């Protein structure tokens, strides 16, 4: 029994260059480059225009690493080819974001503004004062940067004010019942 995800080959799109040196995997594409160390017990081979990962044995931990390694390699190939983006919406009177160089400055109802600097490989876009787009080649880093921004003022359930993902639905609560 092999890992359901691990046994699927990863297609290499045109314009992406893949290098496998022992356990070191690296991909280079239009959006940038990334590298990953494949776990012990998993071997990666380029066959034609596909990457095939095979486990050394059929033990449970190896199968888990097999699926994990395949998923990470697939997201790396997609990231260097197309890139990843997460859109955040800012809801609330006076809440806004402005781009200052590469950083973003937020006014979120606190007594001070909050400045967020991008991590390495992350880039911010502010199309308008209420929208922030986090872009990059690393899926995990883009998600983490977006989560860190959302955490600055998470949406509250009564009026929905705060920073939310563009595709996120905030469950609303009824206010206090009046007399």
Q: Give the per-residue pLDDT at 4.
A: 87
Q: Give the per-residue pLDDT at 6.
A: 86
Residue ranges for the chain with pLDDT beneath 50: none
Residue bearing tokens 């066959």: 47
Q: Give the per-residue pLDDT at 178.
A: 72
Q: Which domains does the chain have, with CATH numbers?
A: 10-81 (3.90.930.12), 84-165 (3.90.930.12)
Q: Is residue 17 a contact partner of residue 29, using CB atoms and an 8 Å limit?
A: yes
Q: Give the per-residue pLDDT at 1.
A: 64
Q: Give the per-residue pLDDT at 96.
A: 95
């Amino acid at each position: 029994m092999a890992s359901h995800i691990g046994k699927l080959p990863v297609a290499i799109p045109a314009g992406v260059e893949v290098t496998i040196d022992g356990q070191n995997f690296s991909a280079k594409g239009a959006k940038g480059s990334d590298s990953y160390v494949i776990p012990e017990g998993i071997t990666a081979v380029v066959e034609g225009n596909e990457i095939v990962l095979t486990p050394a044995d059929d033990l449970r931990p190896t199968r888990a690493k097999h699926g994990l390694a395949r998923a990470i390699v697939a997201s790396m190939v997609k990231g260097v080819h197309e890139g990843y983006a997460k859109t955040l919406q800012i809801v609330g009177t006076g809440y806004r974001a402005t781009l200052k160089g590469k950083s973003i400055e937020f006014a979120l109802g606190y007594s001070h503004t909050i400045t967020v600097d991008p991590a390495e490989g992350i880039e911010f876009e502010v199309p308008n004062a209420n929208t922030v787009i986090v872009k990059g080649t690393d899926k995990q880093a883009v998600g983490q940067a977006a989560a860190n921004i959302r955490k600055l003022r998470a949406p509250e359930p009564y009026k929905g004010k705060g920073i939310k993902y563009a595709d996120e639905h905030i469950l609303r609560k009824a206010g206090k019942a009046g007399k």
